[in-house]
Structure 1
Amino acid sequence: MTDPAVATAVGPVGVTAGPAGRAEPSRGGAVPVEPLRVGIVGGGFMARVHAGAARSAGARVVALASSSPASAARAATSLGVDTAHESVDDLVTDPDVDVVHVCSPNATHAPVALAALAAGKHIVCEKPLATSGAEAEALVEAARAGRLVGAVPFVYRYHPMVREARARVAAGEVGRVLSVRGSYLQDWLLDSDDVDWRVDSAAGGPSRAFADIGSHLVDLLEFVLGDRLARLTSTTNTAHAHRGGSSVDTEDEAAVVFETTRGAIGTLFVSQVAPGRKNRLLLDLSGTAESLEFSQEEPETLWVGRRSGTQLVARDAAVLTPDAARLSTVPAGHPMGYVDAFAGFVRDAHDAVRGGTPEGLPTFVDGLRAVRVTEAVLASAASRRWVDVP
């Protein structure tokens, strides 16, 4: 999700994802001073999340810009940021900013990020990276050309038990993956009088539910499996034709059937109108040896199923695989959740800015991938046919 800041704005994936999602080092831009200095575009909930995660990672949040000088000033005061810029252009060209975090509405992501890349800034851009594949491709190429870090907060990768699931799949413990079931359910747009800028395609893009939360689900699935969706068929549903007196042209729900490049089959379902479901992201996969299930609302455990019985594996760095243990920043028994996952992502993104190669950092390449899958879902729903995923 992103913040309601409207920005107008007229460089390289220094970090690019390899076959296993491993990052390549950045070599572009000026050598950043320590601690890193962050500028945020946006003034709402996600701006607050990014500011907290950046500070947790040891960075200084030095500047903020929003939809107007007044809203920037209010947000800067609320978040304890010293400089409120009058425009986004002022922020992205600020010599005291090393990394720009883009938390503005979806349609502004590409122009803001391109302007920041042109100014030699590293970028953390909220998803969706862009509202079209062409825009997302332009961002990947611009970041790559400037050898600048471009990261996208698919933060559910940063739950330790997700890394544990990924390691078990990679090690062959589940056997050959046969099937996958994924869902992401929310209820914040259940009623017809629930209105948000994301509902309007002019601000949020042609897809709402799938671009907003389905992108997280697909990224998580492909990250854990080390596999890709190869082809899919889908259908979408809009619960309310009108919201707040305006016509609705984006989907509330999407259902997808897919095949992967390695022959697994599966289903995905996303909804923003599921009563009582606040943020239920669930991934359930079955292999020839065992099954795994992870629920974001219960992130401290991983369910493991075998024909001979089941096991609930609790987060404990002493028994987890190294990458899962790395992200376990507090002792077992002290619950970790979304805020910790977000902080872990920002630590890795900022490490990449310094030239590090953090394992599993989601980059602009991954952001482009999510946009392409979203476009395939919309194309299939419109044509009522199977679609190959690029």
Structure 2
Amino acid sequence: MSPADDPAAPPVRPLRGAVVGLGMMGRHHARLLQTAGVTTFAGAVDPEGDRHGAVGDPALVFPTVHRLLDRPADERPEIAIVAVPTEEHLPAVLDLVAGGVHVLVEKPLAESPAVARELIAAVRAAGVHGAVGHVERCNPALRELRRRVLGGQLGQVFHVATERLGPFPARIRDVGVVKDLATHDLDLVGWLGGSGVTTLAAQTQHRMGRPHEDLVNVVGRLEDGTTFTTMVDWLSPTKVRQTRVLGERGMLVADTLTADLTFYANGEVTSEWDAARTLRGVSEGDVTRYALSRREPLLVELEAFCALVRGDEDPGAVTLDEGLAAVDLADAVLRAAASQETVRVLPVRATDTEEIR
């Protein structure tokens, strides 16, 4: 039981938290660090300043990590969220962990598996905690979907399908859809399906004149035989965020834009027609949309990271190894698309990237 769940436990002191990067994601992290009551705000870093007005006290906006840390001990951050562009993750993490700061790194963990392993090694050597911001795992619809799948509601799971479609976000300059968006889904398919990816094939398209891909379609298989498909693009004129898990008893469908979860049960239909009795398909049954408690996913993620730093059992934070696995999968997708061949995925070995707990 964590202290937050035990009414007899003494009050937990909020950790001092900072954010590095005040862009699209960083400004939301800054809001929660200042207002959610989980942390006390220790500052933000952005060389361009607070262009979105995310920080209440201008004196707490710093141009570099070194300036953030060059303060009295009781003003320095204990935790920091790294929300700079992907290729800047490693330098920011190196500076932070050298100062003894625990880090939550926005996904993807790094731009390549090699850099991700270097980042993890630095966290381990510094003796601090690290986690990855795969915030979709904190979406209430997906959390409830996973609970039901692992609880056996669908019986044997056959297939996991994800769609993440929408217009191009102008903020993206360093990666394509595979590393920026598909890392969400490549992380989710194994987390929801209950086992890791073993093989995958992929097709990409370049339609916007950028060096990086703007559409990807992935098909693959998990260790237990479950298949999966993932479709991601920056070409659709409307946002679609849907995850489907199909099993022997029906299908669960999560819409992560609205945080809705719906169960489509297999129907029970009898037939007096002898020839039809030999058919083994399914029919439409009852449809149930579940009432869910909705909490902001970024806040749930922050609470889990703070619980990890405090040493709570099973805090629910996404580990660095899991973040590395998503980067490895993204790399495999790009290799598969380039070679037009099915790629076998090697599991991430925990002994290679053992985290300090």
User: Partner residue of 2:229?
Assistant: 267
Q: Contact 1:57–1:347 (CA<8 Å) still a contact in 2?
A: no
Q: Does 1:182 align with 2:150?
A: no
Q: CA deviation at 1:133?
A: 0.3
Measure the CA separation in 1 of the matches of 2:286 and 2:92: 48
Count of residues paired in the alignment:
314
Per the alignment, do residues 93 and 219 of structure 1 end up closer, same or farther by CA in structure 2, a change over 3 Å counting? Answer: farther
Structure 2 counterparts to residues 220-231 of structure 1, below 5 A: 220-231=188-199
Measure the CA separation in 1 of the matches of 2:70 and 2:189: 37
1:310-338 alpha-carbon deviations (Å, 9 max, x no partner): 3323234xxxxxxxxxxx4xxxxxxx36x
- Partner SS, residue 152 of structure 1: strand
Q: Contact 1:160–1:315 (CA<8 Å) still a contact in 2?
A: no
Per the alignment, do residues 267 and 34 of structure 1 end up closer, same or farther by CA in structure 2, a change over 3 Å counting? Answer: same
User: What are the ranges of 5 or more consecutive residues in structure 2 without an aligned counterpart?
Assistant: 1-11, 269-284, 347-357
Per the alignment, do residues 359 and 160 of structure 1 end up closer, same or farther by CA in structure 2, a change over 3 Å counting? Answer: farther
Measure the CA separation in 1 of the matches of 2:153 and 2:124: 36
Q: Does 1:254 align with 2:229?
A: no
What letter matches 2:301 in structure 1? F
User: Partner residue of 1:346?
Assistant: 302
After superposition, the CA RMSD in angstroms is 2.0
1:110-138 alpha-carbon deviations (Å, 9 max, x no partner): 12112211221100111111001011112
Measure the CA separation in 2 of the matches of 1:74 and 1:163: 34
Q: Contact 1:57–1:343 (CA<8 Å) still a contact in 2?
A: no
TM-score w.r.t. the length of structure 2 is: 0.82
Q: CA deviation at 1:93?
A: 5.5
What letter matches 2:89 in structure 1? H
Measure the CA separation in 2 of the matches of 1:93 and 1:144: 23
The farther-off stretch of 259-268 and 52-61 is 52-61
User: Partner residue of 1:232?
Assistant: 200
The farther-off stretch of 149-158 and 261-270 is 149-158
What letter matches 1:86 in structure 2? P
Per the alignment, do residues 272 and 294 of structure 1 end up closer, same or farther by CA in structure 2, a change over 3 Å counting? Answer: same
What letter matches 2:193 in structure 1? L
Structure 2 counterparts to residues 133-282 of structure 1, below 5 A: 133-189=113-169, 195-196=170-171, 198-199=172-173, 204=174, 207-241=175-209, 248-277=210-239, 280-282=240-242
Q: Contact 1:258–1:267 (CA<8 Å) still a contact in 2?
A: yes
User: Partner residue of 2:44?
Assistant: 64
Per the alignment, do residues 255 and 160 of structure 1 end up closer, same or farther by CA in structure 2, a change over 3 Å counting? Answer: same
Q: CA deviation at 1:144?
A: 3.0
Q: CA deviation at 1:345?
A: 0.8
Structure 2 counterparts to residues 315-330 of structure 1, below 5 A: 315-316=291-292, 328=293
User: Partner residue of 2:8?
Assistant: none
User: Partner residue of 2:62?
Assistant: 85
Per the alignment, do residues 57 and 129 of structure 1 end up closer, same or farther by CA in structure 2, a change over 3 Å counting? Answer: farther
1:133-171 alpha-carbon deviations (Å, 9 max, x no partner): 011112223323334221212112112332222122222
Q: Does 1:49 align with 2:9?
A: no
User: Partner residue of 2:275?
Assistant: none
Q: Contact 1:217–1:281 (CA<8 Å) still a contact in 2?
A: no
Q: CA deviation at 1:92?
A: 4.8
Q: CA deviation at 1:177?
A: 1.2
Q: CA deviation at 1:255?
A: 0.6
The farther-off stretch of 357-366 and 102-111 is 357-366
User: Partner residue of 1:105?
Assistant: 85
Measure the CA separation in 1 of the matches of 2:260 and 2:50: 38
Measure the CA separation in 2 of the matches of 1:149 and 1:93: 21
- Partner SS, residue 302 of structure 1: strand
- Partner SS, residue 210 of structure 1: helix
- Write 1 or 2 for the structure with the bigger share of strand: 2
Q: Which has the larger radius of gyration?
A: 2
Measure the CA separation in 2 of the matches of 1:263 and 1:73: 49
What letter matches 2:328 in structure 1? R
Match of 1:314 among 275, 285, 290: 290
User: Partner residue of 1:4?
Assistant: none
User: Partner residue of 1:286?
Assistant: 246
